[in-house]
Amino acid sequence: MLKVAIIGATGYTGRELAGILARHPHVQPTYLTSESFAGQRLSDVYPQFRSVVDVTLEKPDMDKVAECDFIFSALPHGLSVDTVPQLVSTGKKVVDLSGDFRLKDGGLYADWYGYEHNQPQLLANSVYGLPEVNRQQIKKADLVANPGCYPTSVLLALKPLLAEGVVDPQDIIVDAKSGVSGAGRSPKLPFHFPECTENFKAYKVAGHQHTPEIEQELAAVAKEQVLVTFTPHLVPMIRGILSTIYLRTSGKLSETEIWSLFEKHYGDEPFIRLLKAPALPETKFVSGSNFCDISLRLEERTGRLIVLSAIDNLMKGAASQAVQNMNLMMGWPEETGLK
């Protein structure tokens, strides 16, 4: 069994990682870090881990991290940019779940994340960890930037259409809804139960940090500039993302022909499930899994194509996708420990 470190194991994604790794046949969660709970066991913080992961949490010590075979970092963005370089310098492979190594243009961090990025070399070397797009590069990577939760749901829904050039890349509208666990475990007023329950609201309209990430990765697929209007919403449920995406097609393809493009791109993908009409994606049916469920409708009356996708933000949107990336980086079958 290989030893795995989780930096930030007490957060929601760190917790999911610990659970997946505890069931993985080739690794064990060995070195788990926390600032606030150091000295306690993970199973004290999350009692579901009693007699499953009883590892004592420690403040990060790079010598101990270096004794592990693989490293996950699940710290907030803005903090990872300082910590990940130290993790990479251990010489071990790293998957970072934050947004700090996803944008190739480091200058974008000031506008979208509110800090100046000071690691241009690592930014250039990191590989964007969406296996359905970058599988071959991920296999060779030392640092994988695990995608954001919303971008995962959007990029998987749009990859076949942008790759085939059958939609207008300048006219894409994403209407996405997320459960509250997307905001992490640290208490913040908008996510306090009385504030968000019995409520449904948009947030960060025309300014969400995932917008440049979505545009960057779609442009890489389309091989031209892509513009996206992205509006996220908060739904009073714990987990899950549903994205509804509106597109303009050339008008030449039928729904069946568009569907066949999805089958061409995703026929062999282990974690994409294409739902034929009348089925539509629902967050409940991907909860706790690494699946992304996708469906589409061509509205002939308006000529709009509507694509829908559902993921679990903590799983395909974060922890299980990170393990999918680890499997690729370590040369194991991609589905190991995930199905």
Ligand X SMILES: CC(=O)N[C@@H](CCC(=O)OP(=O)(O)O)C(=O)O
Smaller CB distance to ligand NDP: residue 162 or 314?
314
Pick from 11, 19, 148, 160 the residue near ligand X by CB under 6 A. Answer: 148
Report what 221 binds from ligand NDP, ligand X, none; CB cut-off 5-8 Å by kind: none
Report what 74 binds from ligand X, ligand NDP, none; CB cut-off 5-8 Å by kind: ligand NDP
> Is 149 assigned a catalytic role?
yes
DSSP alpha helices (H): ranges in the chain? 12-23, 42-45, 62-66, 80-88, 108-112, 120-125, 131-140, 149-164, 193-196, 210-222, 255-266, 319-330
Q: State the Rg of the chain over Cα.
A: 20
> What is the rounded distance in angstroms from the CA atom of residue 72 to the CA atom of residue 182?
18
Give least dist CB 186 to ligand X, A.
Answer: 11
Pick from 11, 19, 60, 99 the residue near ligand X by CB under 6 A. Answer: 99
Phi first, then psi, for residue 328 (nearest 5°) are -65, -45
Give least dist CB 149 to ligand X, A.
Answer: 4
Binding region for ligand X (CB under 6 A) out of 64-72, 104-112, 177-185, 254-262: 177-185
Give least dist CB 99 to ligand X, A.
Answer: 4
Report what 232 binds from ligand X, ligand NDP, none; CB cut-off 5-8 Å by kind: ligand X
Give least dist CB 40 to ligand NDP, A.
Answer: 9
Helix axes 12-23, 319-330, angle to 10 degrees: 50
Site residues (vs ligand NDP, CB under 6 A): 8-14, 34-37, 74-77, 79, 97-98, 148-149, 181-182, 184-186, 313-314, 317-318
Nearest Cα residue to 157 out of 181, 133, 135, 134: 133
Is residue 234 near ligand X by the rule CB under 6 A?
Answer: yes
Chain position whose Cβ is nearest to ligand NDP? 11
> What is the rounded distance in angstroms from the CA atom of residue 161 to the CA atom of residue 222?
9
Give least dist CB 221 to ligand NDP, A.
Answer: 20
Smaller CB distance to ligand NDP: residue 70 or 262?
70
Under 8 Å between Cβ of 42 and 57: yes
Interface pattern 184-223 for ligand X (x via CB under 6 A): -------------------------xx-------------
Site residues (CB under 6 A) for ligand X, limited to 45-84: 77
DSSP secondary structure, 292-309, as one string: EEEEEEEETTTTEEEEEE
Pick from 14, 60, 169, 182 the residue near ligand X by CB under 6 A. Answer: 182
Pick from 178, 295, 321, 327 the residue near ligand X by CB under 6 A. Answer: 178
Handedness of CA 34, 147, 15, 77 (dihedral sign): positive
Place of tokens 């993908």: 269
Place of tokens 């019995």: 198
Nearest Cα residue to 33 out of 66, 10, 67: 10
Which listed residue (68, 149, 196, 292) is catalytic? 149
Place of tokens 């991920």: 138
Under 8 Å between Cβ of 196 and 255: no
Report what 8 binds from ligand NDP, ligand X, none; CB cut-off 5-8 Å by kind: ligand NDP
Site size toward ligand X (CB under 6 A) is 12
Phi first, then psi, for residue 59 (nearest 5°) are -70, 145
Instruction: Tell me whether strands 272-274 and 292-299 are parallel, antiparallel or unpaired.
Output: parallel
Smaller CB distance to ligand NDP: residue 160 or 240?
240
Report what 185 binds from ligand NDP, ligand X, none; CB cut-off 5-8 Å by kind: ligand NDP
Residues assigned a catalytic role: 149
Give contact residues for ligand X (rule: CB under 6 A): 77, 98-99, 148-149, 178, 182-183, 209-210, 232, 234
